[in-house]
Chain A
Amino acid sequence: MAASFLLPVTVIGYIVGIVLAILRTVYRSRTARRFASIVFAVTWIFHTVAVVREGIVEGRLPLANMAEYLLVLGWIVLTLHLYLWYRLEVEISGVVLLPLAAIMTFVSMELMRSEPARSAATPDGWFLFHTTVSTLGMAFLSVAFAMSVIYLVQDRVLKSKKAFRLLDRLPSLQKSDQIGVRSLTVGFILLTMGIGTGVVVNAEVHERLVVMGAKQIFPVLAWLVFAAILIFRPMLGFRGRKSAYLTIAGFALGLLTVIGMTL
């Protein structure tokens, strides 16, 4: 289990970071940006220490149960947010992506608190590979989701010709689209690998392929949605709002998979 103070401090870091990101977006405050950068860095350090400590204490990769999965997923999402914030200068991700990471970390913390002894078997072989690629895939799909939300906001502002000031706080439409599609592509590849290895793990555990419910159905549905976006984009020029809505729908199916894992 992560040290008792690490996750609460991380969650507080997320909350402060989100408030600063909102202040930066609304008021374009340089001070808020400076402090946000510091808070993000400190939060990332605490989250990293929490993940590493969890791995050391359990003596394995911390991906054996839902609490650990969300802890690691939140950490990857935060890392991707930092990349967007510093490298790609998409500061609005602090308002969209960071709350996602915060919720994941908070739920992870609550699960650890409510079920302190829910350690599962040590993941190895295909299962380890399956959980790793699935977690990474979900993190990249989170970025695709965030960029789709941003895209839809931009589209609405540009179409309605109101609240132009908001446009100054957002990346260009094209940039949102590009980052979204790249994240979706990486996420889709990882999801494909995750589903493929999931089938192998399923067959290994049950000695035959068992389709039990949400855990198997939702990822396949999400995969079909993402595949449709990526195939029809170059073929039929499937872009813009439709593509953004479908990405959000695909991500929602991905989330249902995660929720399905806990049931």
Chain B
Amino acid sequence: MLILIGSNHRSAPVAVRERMSFPLQKLPEAHDGLLRAEGVQEGMILSTCNRVEILVRSAGEAGASAAAVKSFLAEQQNLSFEEIDRYTYQLVEGDAVRHLFSVASGLDSMIMGEPQILGQVKQAYQMGKENKTIGPVLDRLLQHCLSTAKKVRTDTGISRNAVSVAYAAVELARKIFGDLEGRSAMLLGAGEMGDLVGRHLVTNGASELIVCSRTFTNAVLRAEAMGGKAIHWEEALDHLRRVDILVSCTGASHAVLEKQDVAKALRGRRLGPLFLIDIAVPRDIDPRVNELNNVYLYDIDALQGVIESNLEERRLAAEHAKRMIGEEVMSFDRWIQSQEVTPLIVSLRETLLEVGEYELGRYRGRLGRLDDRQQKTVEELTRAIIQKILHRPIRRLRASVDRGDTLECTSLYREIFGMEQLDGEAGADPGDEAPSEASQDGPHRLLDGRNKGA
């Protein structure tokens, strides 16, 4: 039984989440403690700044196992049971699998589609393996989860578009220039947001960053911090002729860059497009600048429009992602069910072969003396009959995994073949004739033959 107890930004306030989260150094000890919880066979702890998810596979009944995990959490993090009941959610089996897949794909994140969570799930999986709390089922589940999350990201593009002002500006710069390698940018003003955009531009390949502020010493300090070059305020227009991107974020109460200034700068310019990012309020750049050929001006509202459009794109991608996850959950469920079918098939074969051996032994006396060849032929005949009888039922049992009625099918088979009884006493119906003395060596040989032949 798979059980997930979790808490995220929707279920708990940050004050509770920070108490619930596990510091990295505490995780090995926590994993040990998790395995000691009643009924827990395998377990994994995912702890990030926004969520704590504890996933376990337990042998016991769902309620008891969930209670054991909750008391583990309460004990580890000094939380009351009331707090845990109030701020956590509990999911079992398919719902737990679906939730885990959604989390890893970024569908459950505060910023939908954010990519960091996939790395965090990977890290939690690795941590579980290192602490030996991940067994065959969780191992399979986590591998399936990671590949699903990658597929979701690739196929739906849910993480593709920027949802912050700084990233939106970089994304737009890429739409204009393609690669930012070799591009130069100029920061106008001393706003923090401007610096953030500047840093993102440099991180994404811009090769030159010019910092211009009314106070030159301030420009020098910021340029040093960002690996750029400081210039005097008066030089800004001259540099406008040779830069590709201008980020303006001054605290001026009026426009600092008029249409004619930009038009004048363009006259002496031999380069490609000019991208102007105005994130100041009130705006620094005359909006009519956007009318100029080869100039693209984006103010804070326009950037917000890009973000809205991207969020809408992510919402659409999320619908596609949910459908994909639904299919993957079913695929994992089929694997789980196939794990239940395989032991039953083995048990079914063994049961019937034991019946065969038993009956062969009983009739050995009536057959008279058989030489080795005849003995082997009779055993092969018995095995062949059993295989023929089992062929169709086993095929139907295997097909039940795809049909999704494995549970009903396995209980029906157990009932029909009296498996519980036969498991306890092979050949429970000995019939009315007692086995002859000559049957002593018979039963073993049929099973041995099966083992060799099967």
- Please give the residue numbers on chain A whose beta carbons come within 8 Å of chain B beta carbons, in ascending order: 28, 30, 154, 158-159, 161, 164-165, 167-168, 170-175, 177, 234, 237, 239-242
Contacts and interface: CB of A to CB of B under 8 A. Distances in A.
Given A30-B155, A168-B160, A237-B271, A161 B177 contact: no
A162 to B, nearest CB: 8
B421 interface: no
B175 A239 contact: no
Contact of B309 (A165, A234, A242): A165
Contact of B294 (A30, A165, A168, A239): A239
24 contacts: A30-B155, A158-B296, A159-B290, A161-B302, A164-B305, A164-B306, A164-B310, A167-B175, A168-B161, A168-B313, A170-B175, A171-B178, A172-B175, A173-B176, A174-B176, A177-B272, A234-B270, A237-B266, A237-B270, A239-B273, A239-B293, A239-B294, A240-B293, A242-B293
A175 B273 CA distance: 12
A241 B270 contact: no
Residue among A30, A158, A164, A177 with max Cβ neighbours from chain B (10 Å)? A164
A122 to B, nearest CB: 47
A161 B298 contact: yes
Contacts of A154: 175
B293 A241 contact: yes
A67 B367 CA distance: 92
Given A164-B309, A165-B313, A239-B272, A172 B177 contact: yes
Contacts of A242: 293
Contacts, number: 57
B445 interface: no
Nearest to B177: A174
Residue among B293, B302, B305, B306 with max Cβ neighbours from chain A (10 Å)? B293
Contact of A240 (B155, B178, B273): B273
A239 B295 CA distance: 11
B36 interface: no
Contacts of B272: 173-174, 177, 239
A172 B293 contact: no
Nearest to A237: B270
Contacts of A175: 178
Interface string B152-182: 0001010011000000000010111110000
A159 B176 contact: no
A158 B174 CA distance: 12
B340 to A, nearest CB: 35
B269 interface: yes
Interface residues of B, number: 27
A88 to B, nearest CB: 11
Contact of B175 (A30, A158, A177, A237): A158
A113 B296 CA distance: 50
A30 B293 CA distance: 36
Contacts of B175: 154, 158, 167, 170, 172-173
Nearest to B313: A165
Given A173-B177, A239-B293, 13 more contacts: A28-B157, A158-B176, A164-B309, A167-B175, A170-B175, A172-B174, A172-B175, A173-B176, A174-B177, A174-B272, A177-B272, A237-B269, A237-B271
Contacts of B293: 239-242
Given A158-B296, A164-B305, A242-B293, A172 B269 contact: no
Nearest to B316: A165
A28 B302 CA distance: 25
Contacts of B266: 237
Interface string B271-301: 1110000000000000000100110101000
Contacts of B305: 161, 164
Contact of B176 (A164, A168, A172): A172
A167 B174 CA distance: 10
Residue among A28, A172, A177 with max Cβ neighbours from chain B (10 Å)? A172
A172 B178 contact: yes
B29 to A, nearest CB: 45
A173 B273 contact: yes
Nearest to A235: B270
A21 B104 CA distance: 32
Contacts of A234: 270
Contacts of A165: 309, 313
A190 to B, nearest CB: 26
Contacts of B270: 234, 237
A28 B76 CA distance: 48
Contacts of B310: 164
A66 B178 CA distance: 40
Contacts of A174: 176-178, 272-273
Residue among B269, B294, B296 with max Cβ neighbours from chain A (10 Å)? B294
Nearest to A30: B155
Contacts of A170: 175
Contacts of B273: 173-174, 239-240
Nearest to B297: A159
A168 B160 CA distance: 10
Contacts of A167: 175
Contacts of B290: 159
B267 to A, nearest CB: 8
